Amino acid sequence: MTKFDRLTAVLDDFHHQLATEPNEFFGKLRHAWAAAKQDYANALAMGAVTKSAIASGLEQGIRETPLVLCSLPKEVRVSANRALASAINRHAPDFHKKDQERLAKIISRGRAISNLKCNTRPC
């Protein structure tokens, strides 16, 4: 399964899980996703774009989805974030792997710098 397929599956699953939510925002979000999928299919059929390029955009969209959900009432936002996490875990469990690796490097550099400072002067 390609990255494009995994990310598309994440968004399909996310929207499917929220299909019964009465909040009008989710209806607009589902409509936008359906339109985007059609646009992607047309662009791919014409050879105007690659699946890899679309996947990059999908990845960024998934990363920014929690920011979009921030304006929703708490109970709706919580269920939407859970739906997103569930969809990611189900279809792209390695989605956050690079972020976790970057964070580990940052933390280890921070410890190294902290240890260096403590070794060169009293802490």
- Residue 115's pLDDT is 63
Q: In a 10 Å sphere around its CB, with 0-12 CB exposed, 13-18 middle and 19+ buried, how is residue 53 labelled?
A: middle
Residue 13 has pLDDT above 70, yes or no: yes
Copy the structure tokens of residue 119.
């070794």
pTM of the full predicted structure? 0.81
Q: Domain extents for the chain?
A: 3-92, 96-123
86: CB partners within 8 A, 6+ apart: 13, 17
pLDDT in tens, 18-27: 999 888 999 9
